[in-house]
């Protein structure tokens, strides 16, 4: 189309000058310089001396920890005290600053004014007067009284102290250079367990002086009903429970836990601790946790762990201890270089969590099988369930697996409406599948002479007895793998970690003598998950999980259920004219005919048709060929 010259000139002027026209009516400030009050941490001893930390943990009704912290100082002037923000094992800034209240500072009995650092709200700035030898901080930590306030850590029967919630530390120093002596007063008659050691006087325990880094890494479980069990190799299973009868385990059950410790030592070749304490809560009152530490771990399972050993709920809980124990080697001793930080306010970078968590997930299931906490068949069922679930993750088409390592920061484990498209922390289980394939490749390359066990000893088994940290990067992982079995490991990780994919890696199955198939009967793990969660899981075919009351708890992106217009939170009222039940749902799927569904979403009702003819689909691993494959050999005990 030909424009007139005048029209063209007018158009070019209008396009060229809109910002100039706006400038006439907009004020334009200039950015001010940013002044970060907190000094950069240095690897030098804290000059003030040993901090004295006193915690009163006796209030189990209002669930308030009362804290007095005496901080020696070596000089006057500005000083920043920090509450930990970036927490190891959380892989994200999860410090509960909102629960720190009533904060006061005094010097020689006189109050000191404080000011919060606006660039880091976990920092409190004070001005230390000339001649002051110590500053006293007093405050309360208001632990959750309801789950909607955060994880419940105090009940009338037990409590969990995480030191990052009840302490401050001086900025400007590596936390391993800050000595602390902690004292806790517990409710009368309670017993406490921690990786710390100390001396009890009545209900008060004065713990030995230790550096702040190790203090944070040594939480406490305490309770009215408590029982320690010696597992050998200086490892103790410290059981705390809601009721006394939950403490009783059979000799056979304890033998499996002792074998876990034996098998871990045989796998890695050494123990990286002088002692280790499983902090193990059997409760439905205190909030759930599975958190690694170097010489301990925090673990919560539902009541019935020992009492209902053969039931589904207890079966699902038995993967927790092998996973967290593995972390003493993988994650705590050997740690990605950008996940290690000099203090708890320097941001972490999570890129290598597919090693830190993914290989831990791998070894957790292997050690579970080798110790007998899982049978071999239960382990194979778990692998099948994991692989099938990952194949429903359509978000892999746009989001590489490595990007999910940032999910602890991105979403902070908040619920997701379309998790199969958004992806979550897939580095755990997809990492497991990657390492399962790596093991099979090593066994194939070496004609069965070596496996990932050899990598574990070479990578995690160095420096016997060392409970510090040795950092690594991806290059170090590849170098060690090549020393075990030369292969294109760089390309292997580029394919599975850095690139988008259509499905989860399954070479660990096919090279190991198995294949993933589907049938109409759930395996042990899927059945246990359905029973525990009170739902029907048909993610693998029709594409949804439905609770026993008809509420839809998950819809797989682009599945038949998705295309029919279903969404999380909706409730199926009826199918083909029959009131919803899990049996009605399964019968409708088996029929292969379109379903007429009455659906309630919020306060609205609608009727829709869901066409699906694939029948019930549950995953399982099917043996290929005769004899023992590499996957069979991987799961065999070493002791």
Structure-token match 């120093």, residue found: 173
For residue 4, pLDDT beyond 50: no
Question: What Å distances lie between residue 14 and 4, 5, 83, CA to CA?
Answer: 16, 14, 55
Structure-token match 């280790």, residue found: 276
For residue 117, pLDDT beyond 60: yes
Are residues 296 and 327 in contact, defined by beta-carbon separation less than 8 angstroms? Answer: no
Q: What integer is the mean pLDDT of 420-443?
A: 97
- For position 19, what pLDDT does the model report? 59
Structure confidence by residue, pLDDT tens digits, 580-599: 999 999 999 999 999 999 99
Nearest to 206 by CA among 232, 183, 236: 183
| 261/233 Cα distance (integer angstroms) | 7
Lowest mean pLDDT among 5-9, 240-244, 289-293: 5-9
| 630/68 Cα distance (integer angstroms) | 57
Residue 80 three-state SS:
strand
Q: Which residues lie closer than 8 Å to 149 by C-beta, 6 or more apart?
A: none
Determine the Cα angle at 514 with ends 355 and 537, to 5°. Answer: 75
Structure confidence by residue, pLDDT tens digits, 174-196: 999 999 999 999 999 999 999 99
Structure confidence by residue, pLDDT tens digits, 535-561: 999 999 999 999 999 999 999 999 999
| 274/439 Cα distance (integer angstroms) | 30
- For position 254, what pLDDT does the model report? 98
Q: How many Cα atoms sit within 13 Å of 139 on the Cβ side?
A: 21
| 525/314 Cα distance (integer angstroms) | 11
| 291/228 Cα distance (integer angstroms) | 19
Quick one: what percent of the chain has pLDDT higher than 90?
Answer: 93
| 211/222 Cα distance (integer angstroms) | 22
| 585/539 Cα distance (integer angstroms) | 13
Reported residue count of the chain is 639
Nearest to 237 by CA among 264, 265, 277: 277
Q: What separation, in Å, do the N-terminal and C-terminal C-alpha atoms of the chain show?
A: 84
Q: What integer is the mean pLDDT of 423-447?
A: 98
Q: Which segments within 302-378 are labelled E, that is strand?
A: 334-336
Give 606's strand partners. 599
Nearest to 557 by CA among 422, 448, 446: 422
**Which tokens sit at 82?**
């920090």
- For position 433, what pLDDT does the model report? 98
Q: What integer is the mean pLDDT of 297-306?
A: 97
| 432/511 Cα distance (integer angstroms) | 15
């Amino acid at each position: 189309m030909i424009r007139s010259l005048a029209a063209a000139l007018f158009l070019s002027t209008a396009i060229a000058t809109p910002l100039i026209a706006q400038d006439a009516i907009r004020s334009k400030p200039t950015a001010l310089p940013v002044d970060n009050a907190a000094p950069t941490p240095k690897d030098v001893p804290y000059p003030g001396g040993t901090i004295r930390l006193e915690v009163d943990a006796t209030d189990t009704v209002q669930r308030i920890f009362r804290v007095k912290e005496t901080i020696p100082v070596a000089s006057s002037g500005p000083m920043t005290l920090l509450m930990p923000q970036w927490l190891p094992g959380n892989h994200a800034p999860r410090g509960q600053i909102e629960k720190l209240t009533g904060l006061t500072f005094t010097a020689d009995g006189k109050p000191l004014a404080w000011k919060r650092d606006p660039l880091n709200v976990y920092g409190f700035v004070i001005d230390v007067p000339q001649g002051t030898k110590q500053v006293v901080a007093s405050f309360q930590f208001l632990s959750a009284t309801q789950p909607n306030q955060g994880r419940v850590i105090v009940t009338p029967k037990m409590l969990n102290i995480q030191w990052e919630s009840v302490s401050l530390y001086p900025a400007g120093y590596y936390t391993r250079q800050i000595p602390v002596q902690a004292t806790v007063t517990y409710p009368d008659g309670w017993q406490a367990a921690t990786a710390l050691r100390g001396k009890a006087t009545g209900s008060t325990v004065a713990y030995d002086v230790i550096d702040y880094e190790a203090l944070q890494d040594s939480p406490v479980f305490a309770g009215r009903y408590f029982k320690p069990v010696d597992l050998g190799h200086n490892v103790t299973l410290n059981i705390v429970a809601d009721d006394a009868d939950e403490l009783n385990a059979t000799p056979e059950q304890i033998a499996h836990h002792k074998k876990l410790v034996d098998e871990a030592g045989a796998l890695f070749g050494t123990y990286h601790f002088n002692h280790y304490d499983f902090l193990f809560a059997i409760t439905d009152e205190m909030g759930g946790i599975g958190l690694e530490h170097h010489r301990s771990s925090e673990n919560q399972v539902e009541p019935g762990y020992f009492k209902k050993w053969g039931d589904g709920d207890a079966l699902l809980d038995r993967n927790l201890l092998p996973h967290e124990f593995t972390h003493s080697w993988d994650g705590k001793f050997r740690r990605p270089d950008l996940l290690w930080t000099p203090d708890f306010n320097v941001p972490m970078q999570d890129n290598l969590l597919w090693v830190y968590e993914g290989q831990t997930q791998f070894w957790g299931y292997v050690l579970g099988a080798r110790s007998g906490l899982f049978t071999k068949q239960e382990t194979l069922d778990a692998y099948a369930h994991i692989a099938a679930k990952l194949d429903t993750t359509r978000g892999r088409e746009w989001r590489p697996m490595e990007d999910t390592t940032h999910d602890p920061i991105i979403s902070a484990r908040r619920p997701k409406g379309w998790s199969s498209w958004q992806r979550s922390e897939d580095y755990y289980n997809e990492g497991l599948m990657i390492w399962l394939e790596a093991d099979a490749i090593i066994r194939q390359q070496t004609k069965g002479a070596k496996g990932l066990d050899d990598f574990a000893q070479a990578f995690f088994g160095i420096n016997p007895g060392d409970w510090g940290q040795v950092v690594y990067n991806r290059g170090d992982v590849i170098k060690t793998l090549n020393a075990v079995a030369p292969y294109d490991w760089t390309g292997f990780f580029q394919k599975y970690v850095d690139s988008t994919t259509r499905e989860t890696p399954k070479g660990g199955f096919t090279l190991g003598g198995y294949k993933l198939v589907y049938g109409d009967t759930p395996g042990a793990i899927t059945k246990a998950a359905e029973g525990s969660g009170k739902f029907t899981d048909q993610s693998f075919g029709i594409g949804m999980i439905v609770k026993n009351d008809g509420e839809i708890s998950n819809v797989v992106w682009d599945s038949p259920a998705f295309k029919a217009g279903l969404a999380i939170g909706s409730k199926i009222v009826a199918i083909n004219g029959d009131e919803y039940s899990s049996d009605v749902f399964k019968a409708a799927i088996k029929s292969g005919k379109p379903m007429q569904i009455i659906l309630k979403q919020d306060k609205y009702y609608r009727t829709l048709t869901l066409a699906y003819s694939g029948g019930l689909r549950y995953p399982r691993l099917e043996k290929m060929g005769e004899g023992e494959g590499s996957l069979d050999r991987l799961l065999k005990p070493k002791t």
